[in-house]
Amino acid sequence: MALQPVKFYQTGTFTVGNRLLGENQRAVQANMERTNSLNSGHRACQGCGEALGARYAIDAAMRATRNQLIAANATGCLEVFSTPYPETSWQIPWVHSLFGNAAAVASGVAAALRVKGRHDVRVIAQGGDGGTTDIGFGCLSGMFERNDDVLYICYDNEAYMNTGVQRSSATPPAARTATTAAVGAAPGNEFGTGKNVPLIAIAHGIPYVATASVANLRDLEYKVTRAMGIHGARYIHIHVPCPLGWGSAPADTIKVARAAVESGLFPLIEAEHGEITGRTAIRRRVPVEEYLKLQRRFAHLFGKQSDAARIAQIQAIADRNIRRFGLME
């Protein structure tokens, strides 16, 4: 599927078919033949961005592989809400790895398929940011460095949500979590450090890296489809708001995700073999406050007196992303 930029918004509701678009421009979800890979009956919270992102990503991967797909899934919300024993919401071959080894399990599955000559069957690994950027990071880096034939998808909700909202190395500065309390002189998570796994993946020189967001599901489908058309190690990092952990309204999931993209805090980019090859320009730039104010995890920045200095530091991060990736060009 080539990316067809949609010029006008009034093309019919995305999920029911973009009916005013031509057949070849419509989304995977618009096709009645879609897999429904993550089916009804799962127990994600209302408005869960991770459930939405996974559904769109895996349906797109299934279409791209003509339904010849196996997924390894790290422990985390996505695994827990979709597979309470003895039930499952997955309509695909799916294996639960440990919290930290989804990339290694997927590499093993890919190696076994290669030995058996099953070149038609493709492999995905998926997990949350904790399973990816923290405990699973070594396995992931090994998968990249060996160029194993796996697409790894990280659903980044910026903390360990499954176990009660503890910080991860993807938690943003100033965010309140169960382990970064909003107290003291510098409330919330640390400023200045952190771990940008998309950039680290690019540094491995692997065939394909992309960031995506549930704010732009068409772009997400395109990137997954593109990744499945390539062999070797691939990585997609999807920003998925978590109403429970972020303290946002379930109905605002897309609004929150969009504000992250449009403020520059979550840049949408693509890279091939170590070079940045694509970026999605910001359509209507918004100040970071528009993103932060929608979430109670940042409420301490907007008390009786707003914390202008720390908001300015967050704005500086967004501005740097915009400069670095040319998001306003």
Ligand X SMILES: Cc1ncc(C[n+]2csc(CCOP(=O)(O)OP(=O)(O)O)c2C)c(N)n1
Among residues 309, 293, 5, the alpha carbon closest in space to that of 187 is found at 309
Q: Which of 1, 54, 61, 77: binder of ligand SF4 (CB under 6 A)?
A: 77
Nearest residue to ligand X by CB is 128
Cα separation of 115 and 329, whole Å? Answer: 46
Q: Is 293 helix (H, G, I), strand (E, B) or coil?
A: coil
Selection from ligand SF4, ligand X, none that 60 binds (CB < 5 to 8 A by kind) is: none
Size (the chain), residues: 329
Q: Strands across the sheet with 151-156, in order?
A: 94-96, 69-73, 122-128, 151-156, 234-239, 208-213, 269-272, 275-279
**60: contact with ligand SF4 by CB under 6 A:** no
Interaction partner, residue 48 (ligand X, ligand SF4, none; CB < 5-8 Å by kind): ligand SF4
Q: Which residue from 291, 289, 167 is spatially nearest to 175, judged by alpha carbons? A: 167
Binding status of residue 144 toward ligand X by CB under 6 A? no
Query: Residue 135's Cα: distance from chain center in Å?
Result: 17
**Nearest distance from residue 157's CB to ligand X, in Å?**
5
Q: Helix (H, G, I), strand (E, B), or coil: what is residue 37?
A: coil
Under rule CB under 6 A, residue 75 binds ligand X: yes
Q: Which is nearer to ligand SF4, 242 or 271 (CB)?
A: 242
Determine the interface stretch with ligand X among 11-19, 61-69, 126-134, 216-224 (rule: CB under 6 A): 126-134
Q: Sketch the per residue contact string, 157 through 186, with ligand X: x for CB under 6 A, - otherwise.
A: x--xxxx----x------------------
Contact status: 246 vs ligand X (CB under 6 A) = no
163 binds, among ligand X, ligand SF4, none (CB under 5 to 8 A by kind): ligand X
Closest CA to 166 of 176, 181, 179, 183: 179
Footprint of ligand X (CB under 6 A): 50, 75-78, 99-100, 127-131, 157, 160-163, 168
